[in-house]
Every structure is written in structure tokens, then in C-alpha cells.
Amino acid sequence: MQLITVAGPPSSGKTAVIINVIAALHRKGRKVGVIKMDCLQAQDQEEYKKRSIPVQVGLSGNLCPDHFFVSNIQACVDWGIEQKLDMLISESAGLCNRCSPHIKGITALCVIDNLMGVNTPKKIGPMLKLADYVIVTKGDVVSQAEREIFAFRIRQANPKAIIMFVNGITGQGAPELASLLQKAEPISSLDQRRLRFSMPAALCSYCLGETRIGKDYQMGNNRLMKFE
């Protein structure tokens, strides 16, 4: 089974891209399932179920969804193998624009949209900078010049990534992306594999449930602002 990880900011069009890619893979006779990771709730699984796409949802609750992902991804792979999937696609929102579950040797996508502003590629950390593919959505509502500038900024942030424009509504670009994803390495386990980077964490009093504000209540790994 092949595993593809898809990450991107909320509302960037991840689900629409995945649905169109799966439609293209279905036409080739491939069986594809989805793991949806989110924080408090998710509705995208209904879109997958409407299309008879096997789907499982993981809600991280008070934990970072990407840390939650790493703790559960092997069980997700086991589920995909039990379902006899040809490909399993994980969908996770990098809510803080820093984390993402990119794994060494596993094809990784970052989805961003053209309406986020030209400086957005610089603001997104490893989620974009370490992805194999950067998928740009909503390119149909901006000018050609704006698309080119946006792509240039992506190349500045991640010169090695393949940049593709996919229309989440019409599906334009999805068959080409699906063909590329079929080249991913098959796996049977993620045991002993490594993340592409160590995800940031701040183990402070607020991580442990503190709600009071003030120096006396700030313990652990804190960082204070420097004012000029």
C-alpha cells in the first residue's frame, strides 16, 4: 500500500484536491482510503462517504493534531492494509503553520491557496518547506501575474518542491497529480521511520492546564517578547 500525507492551512482546499485525485485514481481501478485528522470536529468525512471512499477520522482534542497524527499513523496504516487499499491518503491541518506530519520516504503534499497573500509561502514553515509537492488552489480567481508571483515565492521557500495548480471545483490538474502520486513507494509499516523534522512543542504551565495569567504562573519552556 502507498501512503500519501497531505497537510495545509484550514480552508485551503485539501479535501477538494483529495476528492478529485481519488476520482482520477478510481478511473484507473485503484482503491483509495482517507484518514482525516483534525482538532475538535470534522465534517469532511461526509464528503468522502458520499463517494464511497473508505474514511476514518481522528480528533486530537486538546492535543496538537500533528503530534496526535504521529502517535496514530501506524495504526492508520494497519487499517488501510486491512481494507486492502492501494493507497491511503492522510489529511491534516497544520493549524499553526509550523507542524506537519511529513515522514522521510513518504510522499508529502502541502496545499495552499492563491488568496492567502504573496508572503504566505514565507510564513509557512516545514509544512511547505519540506514538502515534495506544493499544490496551489483557487488560482482561477487571480490573475496570471499573481499566480506567477505566488509560485516564485513558493520556489524561494522550497526550491526542490514540484509546484502544481489544481482546481478544487473542476478538478483541473488532479489527473496529472494522481499520476505522479502513483509513483510513491509502497510500504507495509512505518516502524523505524523518522519524521523529516522535530516538531516544535512548548511544555509550559499552560500546556498542563494553567489558566491564570502572570509571572508566578509561567513555568517550563517559555519565551518572552523583546520590546524596542
Has residue 207 been placed in a domain? Answer: no
> What is the extent of the structural domain holding 182?
2-201
Q: What CA–CA distance (Å, rounded) separates 134 from 146?
A: 16
Query: Which domain CATH number covers 176?
Result: 3.40.50.300
Calculate mean pLDDT across residues 114-132: 88
Please give the pLDDT value at position 175.
Answer: 97
Q: Hey, how many other C-beta atoms are within 10 angstroms of the C-beta on 40? A: 9
* Residue 108 lies inside a defined structural domain of this protein: yes
Per the domain annotation, does 151 fall within a domain? Answer: yes
Q: Does the residue 215 lie in any domain? A: no
Is position 225 within any domain?
Answer: no
Reported pTM: 0.89
What is the average pLDDT score of the chain? 90
Is the pLDDT at 42 greater than 80? The verdict is no
pLDDT tens readout for residues 133-148: 999 999 888 889 999 9
| Cell numbers for 99 | 507542524
Q: Is residue 66 part of a domain?
A: yes
Grid cell in block for residue 97 = 503553520
Residue 202 has a pLDDT of 66
pLDDT at 221: 76
pLDDT at res. 57: 93
Structural domains of the chain, count: 1
In-domain check, residue 223 = no
What percent of the chain stands above pLDDT 70?
A: 96
Structural domain includes residue 177: yes
> For residues 134 and 161, is the Cβ–Cβ distance under 8 A?
yes
Work out the average pLDDT over 48-69: 88
